[in-house]
């Protein structure tokens, strides 16, 4: 498939690159050091449409394809990977509300979410239900024209600083597994919602990560997204795109590291000459660039499969997520090696890109789960030609 960008995509790329380099990169180190959640930057990103990229236009979004979105997110991640990753999560949660919310819920939330005036968190993971998302235990019991929510979530990006929670909770019995899960739009400031401490993390410090406890939290029945029992399907549809998004953030971090490394290799002198003249280091950089481009093209292939609703889209998204997040981290790590001791100190941004990229191999489904998804599909009867 030809992934030459068209004029519109090139314009998106240019706009995102200018925003990333003008509004994000100069402040990224401060956000990381001081754990600043840059709300004003989200509002500015919203003015460009970046907070509702693939939300339908009728809900206030740009209605972009997942391929267009990947092009934009890569540029944003090259400015600040952590902040771009939150933008990707916000986009996923907003898309869920826009796609499955009632007209009233969409009217209540989508206008402010797609412009970045309000922010959304995605609440799936629990202390005992990470990779086994179908085993979640948070409950939403219907009482009259309300649902009453009890339980807890953990590792929730933006929690405590966002306005609405896209929550997966159990409306059926535990024995029903995935079939008993429903999705809800929950205002983040309701009585009975308590937030834990902002976790002290290796990376992703420009976005808070907290546990959330729900105790007898009441929401109108109309806050249900889709139908009862449809929540797990909604979550998995969201994660197909979410996996492309987070893979793209890895590639943005890796591209930034390559850009810094290219410049550094020309500037740094050893044994009387630029280290760019050493063949061993040239070969290392060549491998980094080759692997980066392969990962980028795999992401774009998966995005095109999602855009065309290809029957194998989930497998392609899983493969792209696994490959690109592994490669992204390896490229960032190699960039540190090529910088030597300078790569390890915070004067240079390489170590921050590596720290921010590391978690991408864990979230949106660990890379071990991505391998399971891929292997199970390939080993199914009649699956010989699925990846041709």
Alpha carbon dihedral 244, 250, 254, 255, in 10-degree steps, equals: 40
Give the number of other Cβ atoms within 10 Å of residue 279's Cβ: 7
- Confirm if 63 and 56 have CB atoms less than 8 A apart: yes
CA distance 73 to 66: 10
User: Nearest-CA neighbor of 328 among 298, 301, 307?
Assistant: 298
Radius of gyration (Cα) for the chain, nearest Å? 21
Q: Where are the alpha helices (DSSP H) in the chain?
A: 7-19, 25-34, 39-47, 66-79, 81-100, 103-114, 231-267, 279-307, 313-339, 350-358, 367-378
User: Nearest-CA neighbor of 149 among 134, 163, 162, 165?
Assistant: 165
Candidate list 347, 364, 368, 380, residue with the active-site label? 364
> Alpha carbon of 227 to those of 165, 232, 313: distances in Å?
17, 11, 24
Does the active-site annotation cover 14?
A: no
Q: What pairs with residue 139 in β-bridges?
A: 150, 170
> Alpha carbon of 75 to those of 69, 79, 292, 381: distances in Å?
10, 7, 14, 40
CA distance 84 to 93: 14
Q: Nearest 5 degrees, angle CA 149-CA 234-CA 46?
A: 90
- Known catalytic residues are 364
């Amino acid at each position: 498939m030809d992934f030459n960008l068209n004029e519109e995509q090139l314009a998106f790329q240019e706009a995102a690159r200018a925003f990333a380099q003008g509004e994000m990169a100069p402040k990224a180190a401060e956000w990381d050091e001081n754990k600043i959640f840059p709300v004003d930057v989200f509002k500015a990103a919203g003015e460009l449409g970046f907070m509702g990229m693939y939300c339908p236009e009728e809900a206030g979004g740009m209605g972009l394809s997942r391929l267009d979105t990947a092009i934009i997110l890569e540029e944003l991640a090259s400015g600040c990977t952590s902040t771009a990753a939150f933008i990707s999560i916000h986009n996923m949660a907003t898309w869920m509300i826009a796609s499955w919310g009632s007209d009233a819920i969409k009217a209540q939330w989508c206008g402010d979410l797609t412009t970045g005036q309000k922010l959304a968190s995605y609440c799936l993971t629990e202390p005992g239900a990470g990779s086994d998302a179908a085993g979640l235990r948070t409950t939403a019991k219907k009482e009259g024209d309300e649902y009453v929510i009890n339980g807890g979530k953990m590792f929730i990006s933006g929690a405590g600083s966002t306005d609405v929670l896209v929550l997966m909770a159990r409306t059926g019995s535990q024995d029903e597994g995935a079939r008993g899960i429903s999705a809800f739009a929950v205002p983040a400031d309701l009585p009975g919602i308590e937030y834990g401490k902002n976790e002290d993390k290796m990376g992703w410090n420009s976005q808070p990560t907290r546990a959330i406890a729900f105790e007898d939290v009441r929401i109108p029945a109309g806050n249900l997204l889709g139908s009862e029992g449809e929540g797990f399907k909604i979550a998995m549809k969201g994660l197909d795109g979410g996996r492309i998004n987070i893979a793209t953030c890895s590639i943005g971090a890796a591209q930034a590291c390559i850009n810094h490394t290219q410049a550094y290799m020309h500037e740094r002198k050893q044994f009387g000459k630029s280290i760019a003249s050493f063949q061993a280091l040239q070969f290392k950089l060549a491998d980094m660039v080759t692997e980066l481009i392969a990962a980028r093209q795999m992401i774009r292939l998966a995005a095109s499969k999602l855009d065309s609703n290809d029957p194998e889209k989930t497998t392609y998204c899983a493969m792209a997520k696994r490959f690109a997040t592994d490669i992204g981290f390896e490229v960032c790590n190699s960039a540190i090696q090529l910088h030597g001791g300078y790569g390890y100190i915070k004067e240079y941004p390489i170590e921050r890109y590596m720290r921010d990229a590391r978690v991408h191999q864990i979230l949106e489904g660990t890379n071990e789960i991505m391998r399971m998804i891929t292997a199970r599909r390939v080993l199914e009867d009649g699956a010989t030609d699925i990846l041709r």
